[in-house]
Chain A
Amino acid sequence: MGSYIQSTKAQQQEMLQKIGCKSVEELFSNVPADMALQRPLDIPRGMSESSVMKYMQNMSEENTVFKTVLRGAGAYRHYIPAIVKSVVSKEEFVTAYTPYQAEMSQGILQSIFEYQTMICELTGMDVSNASVYDGASAAAEAVAMCSERKRSKAYISACSNPDVIETVKTYCKGNGMTVELIPENDGATDLDALAAMLGEGAACVYIPQPNYYGIFEDLTKAAEITHNAGAKLIAGCNPIALAMIKTPKECGADIAVGEGQPLGLPIAFGGPYLGFMASTTAMMRKLPGRIVGETVDHDGRRAYVLTLQAREQHIRREKASSNICSNQAHCALTAAVYMAAMGADGLYNVAEQSMSKAHYFAQKLSEIGYELAYTKPYFHEFVTVGVNNTAEALAKLEENGILGGLQLDDNRILWCVTEAVTKEELDKAAAILEEVGK
């Protein structure tokens, strides 16, 4: 049995004696006997470190790790620089709690302040929080931020990631807001339909950028339509794409959110990731979660603290609009180190290579019968149609160590290509698919 208890039996006895107590059981005298567990827990006996590691290793090997991943749909395998893993494994960052005590947490606080600055730069927005759970909960929290006494309707693009739509619906079941889906047209949000839908009571509009199908949305037009109805625009952005495309701020968004996983985090079966969240100054005090601010110490030195805390649950209790407490600080640190390592040019390069390779692969696919489902410009994901034996085709790729695109229905596949995939791998995938098609 493994144990992390350091006091010896003799020390435990000594401690009991000092307390004036015969046994540890006596300390639990408040627990009524008829309720206490009268048997050992029915779980396995403890294991040695060596055995448990072997056990976990075996379990991990029951999963297939694909050498080539051509699937995204919310989780993107990009190259993670060595420096990122090295920095974030520093024990001081890993084993600290939320930086409540500023004097002994300046390192953590400053790292969050730097992260906030990078997110502001990436999105163009004025203020950022210290992160929330993930992109979907960030969207749901953003929707809740827009709720006003006379405005409680949220309009969500049908071209959003399905997980985002479902999560927003869950949160809205709680807070009483209503959710309506804005229909899709040729793979993008139907903004004319949106204009017709918006009316009194519209609180916000959520548009993904690029959307679930990889297509670039017209955020500027969406902002105009949204603001004409007196509502707020929430842009749900891919952070890698933001290195090259117009920022949500430039397009007129009030809140920018997104899944931060592409910024240096492994795909890891869906988590932990992080949700980034940034807004205009006007909405600053509605942002949920931790926020770090700069101030000075008693001696006039620059210092960082958790600030604007009166928004939060530990002070506002039942009047707080969000209950968030723990966020994804360590994931935010990872994202910040990734952005520092990449720099603006490096991040642009990741975006450009991902997009270019996606287009290269789409071209290859179209030559073998997989036609693009939509005509609009796209980033690093795209949908193909036209081949009927999609399941068989994807299975063949899997046999060859390639995780193909995500099957959306009988003949639509959502593909993703990042910079981490080489031309050689793409050619190989195309060749396998061509073989299946014959």
Chain B
Amino acid sequence: MKLIFERSVADRALTLLPECDVEKTVLPEGMARTQALRLPEVGECDISRHYTELAKCAHGVNDGFYPLGSCTMKYNPKVNEQAAALEGFTEIHPLQPQSTLQGALKALVLSEELLCEITGMDNMSFQPAAGAHGEFAGIMLIKAYHESRGDTKRTKIIVPDSAHGTNPASANMAGYTVVSIPSNEDGCVDIEKLKAAVGEDTAGLMLTNPNTVGVFDKNILEITKIVHEAGGLNYYDGANLNAIMGVVRPGDMGFDVIHLNLHKTFSTPHGGGGPGSGAVGCKSLLTPFLPLPRAIKNGDKYELLTESELSFGRMKEFYGNFLVVIKALTYVLTLGAEGIREAAQIAVLNANYMMHELADCYEMAYPGYCMHEFVMTLENTKKQYGVSAMDVAKSLIDHGIHPPTMYFPLIVHEALMVEPTETESKETLDEAVAALRDIAEMTVNNAEAVISAPHTTPISRPDEVMAARSPKLRYEF
């Protein structure tokens, strides 16, 4: 594929702006850039075709099954997009008088109410722009809380070794030392190890439940109690909330603070890597520390709360990824109480169905019922046939299916983590099962074909070592 720079022809351009209708202002002496700005010189037809060609070499949920574990790639309803494209949302300035922003502020307050009820939290801020940003906000809440009490000896955050990499990274960004605790045999928190790890220096625990191996940790109340009794707070990573919405709430499991990935659980599209929205919710004891500004209801008016002595500060410009919140709000209103619960139930049913249908030809890392996702281990396949998790993943691409998450969680060797989500039909699941069974058979009969996959894509496997050793990060003219 040509780069857009390679389509460039000198002096080709679009006509987009009228002539300047006022006298031109001249830039002061010495201020002008001397380095030429080399942007593509292309026509509208060039641009349209270029990006259509790029789009053909991309794969979204719209193109096919996308069982990327831990990422909840459910279908993105179009009405959400339509709502977020309303002029009354896209064309309002963030610094307009609040009286002219009542709809936008109401949208934020309503989203907060609905999502707090779903998670069992008391308040929520939509300022964080993505999951990791929400994690950072959540840990900063914990930090602000301890500091407000003069409890400065709490310098450690406990994170299980099965956690997403963002958890320890977020704790580190907030200035905490990370204590990693090993998981037990069924992938859950090892209670004894946790007891040994907590103490006067414990600021908090970061956990997701169901955990990253797709199992609901039934000891969760005991776990959160251990941390509370040590004086720490419990942080819930909302990455896996899709499994339990309407069934059980993090707020009822003993969690004090939570982040949500609206771009996972609440169906907003991921856009090839963002924008997301990492709403941070908390129990009322942490509300005074939430980032500001925050939309609140005051009588029958909506307004922005801009000052609070205890707030830990601001996360970004303005109020967060507002249009993403609009999409999530549209989704929650569409599904309603019963639809939210049903989404979780069918997500879990779909995962268990796939797991069951594959159990005789793939080794499951944690047999038994799973929640919304399950983890397979290709460790023995690799030893026996030389076919790795990566090879199976690449082979799935030839079946038009986006591979599951590979090599995560780190506690499972040669892991493939499959999350079908609730929006996939039984036919789609059956096709994926058939594809995976096909690959399993090929692994035994013709391992080489699996190892050399994919065979149907615009490129074969790229040389990642070369990319990292001699980085070429821009087009050279």
Contacts and interface: CB of A to CB of B under 8 A. Distances in A.
State if A and B touch, Cβ cutoff 8 Å.
yes
A174 B462 contact: no
Contacts of A216: 28, 31
Given A19-B353, A31-B244, A99-B272, A60 B87 contact: yes
Interface stretch (B196-204, B342-350, B379-387, B439-447): B342-350
B336 A46 contact: yes
Which of A57, A167, A313 neighbours the largest number of chain B CB atoms within 10 Å of its CB?
A: A313
Interface string A108-138: 1011111011101110100110110111110
Contact of B397 (A65, A104, A291, A322): A104
Contacts of A56: 83, 86, 326, 329-330, 333
Which of B13, B274, B343 neighbours the largest number of chain A CB atoms within 10 Å of its CB?
A: B274
Interface string A333-365: 100010111111111111011011111100000
Interface in A70-114: 71, 73-75, 77, 79, 81, 83, 86-87, 89-108, 110-114
B438 interface: no
Interface stretch (A3-11, A193-201, A225-233, A367-375): A3-11
B189 interface: no
A1 interface: yes
A290 interface: yes
Interface string B21-65: 111110110011111111111101001101111111111111100
A2 to B, nearest CB: 4
A20 B369 CA distance: 11
Contacts of A91: 55, 60, 62-63
Interface in A245-298: 245-247, 249-250, 259, 266-274, 284, 290-298
A322 B169 contact: yes
B62 A92 contact: yes
Contacts of B94: 74-75, 267, 269-270
A430 interface: no
Nearest to A26: B369
B460 interface: yes
A222 B467 CA distance: 35
A411 interface: no
Given A19-B356, A314-B165, A328-B275, A137 B129 contact: yes
Contacts of A149: none
A284 B37 CA distance: 22
B33 A245 contact: yes
A315 B410 CA distance: 10
A87 B35 contact: no
A403 B95 CA distance: 10
Nearest to B73: A97
Contacts of A90: 51-52, 55
A81 B47 CA distance: 12
Given A11-B426, A47-B336, A53-B83, A110 B54 contact: yes
A97 B425 CA distance: 20
Contacts of B168: 313, 317-318
B434 interface: no
Given A96-B60, A423-B21, A327 B14 contact: no
A292 to B, nearest CB: 7
B272 A6 contact: no
Contacts, number: 695
B248 A35 contact: yes
Contact of A92 (B60, B86, B173, B353): B60
Interface string B167-194: 0111111110010100000000000000
Interface stretch (B97-105, B225-233, B279-287): B97-105
B132 A75 contact: no
Interface residues on B, range: 35 or more
Contacts of A102: 459, 461-462
Contact of A43 (B114, B178, B269): B114
A377 B457 contact: no
Contact of B475 (A117, A310, A320, A419): A117
A355 B316 CA distance: 27
A77 B93 contact: yes
B100 A52 contact: no
Contacts of B175: 173-176
B82 interface: yes
B270 to A, nearest CB: 5
Contacts of A113: 3, 473-475
Nearest to B291: A170
Contacts of A20: 356
A308 B275 contact: no
Given A46-B335, A64-B96, A317-B169, A323 B132 contact: yes
Contacts of B271: 93-94, 96, 328-331, 333
Given A11-B426, A111-B51, A297-B461, A63 B3 contact: no
Nearest to B472: A294
Contact of B340 (A16, A43, A164, A297): A43
Contacts of A358: 25
Nearest to B332: A43
Contacts of B169: 313, 316-318, 320, 322-323
A272 to B, nearest CB: 4
B315 interface: yes
A322 B168 CA distance: 10
Contacts of A26: 369
A360 B106 CA distance: 38
Which of A290, A299, A340 neighbours the largest number of chain B CB atoms within 10 Å of its CB?
A: A340
B322 interface: yes
A179 B113 CA distance: 36
B435 interface: no
Interface in B310-327: 312-324, 326
A347 B275 contact: no
A262 to B, nearest CB: 13
Contact of B402 (A104, A166, A269, A406): A104
A52 B32 contact: no
Given A61-B88, A113-B474, A175-B175, A320 B47 contact: no
Given A60-B88, A106-B57, A174 B140 contact: yes
A107 B54 contact: yes
Interface string B274-300: 111000000000000001000000000
Contacts of B51: 87, 90, 93, 111, 337
Given A41-B340, A318-B172, A326 B349 contact: no
B362 interface: no
B252 interface: yes
Contact of A37 (B131, B246, B275, B349): B246
Contacts of A340: 4, 39-40, 42, 47, 50
B292 to A, nearest CB: 9
Which of A3, A57, A89, A329 neighbours the largest number of chain B CB atoms within 10 Å of its CB?
A: A3
B90 A266 contact: yes
B340 to A, nearest CB: 6
B422 A5 contact: yes
B360 interface: no
B361 interface: no
A192 interface: no
Contacts of A130: 273
B252 A35 contact: yes
Which of B129, B175, B247, B475 neighbours the largest number of chain A CB atoms within 10 Å of its CB?
A: B129
B321 A324 contact: no
B57 A295 contact: no
8 contacts: A56-B83, A57-B83, A101-B393, A245-B32, A271-B318, A322-B169, A324-B133, A331-B275
Given A30-B217, A108-B54, 9 more contacts: A4-B77, A6-B425, A60-B103, A64-B100, A163-B317, A170-B313, A298-B463, A327-B273, A423-B21
Q: Which 6 A-B pairs rank lowest in CB-CB distance, beginning with the nearest?
A: A270-B318, A60-B88, A46-B336, A330-B271, A329-B273, A62-B103
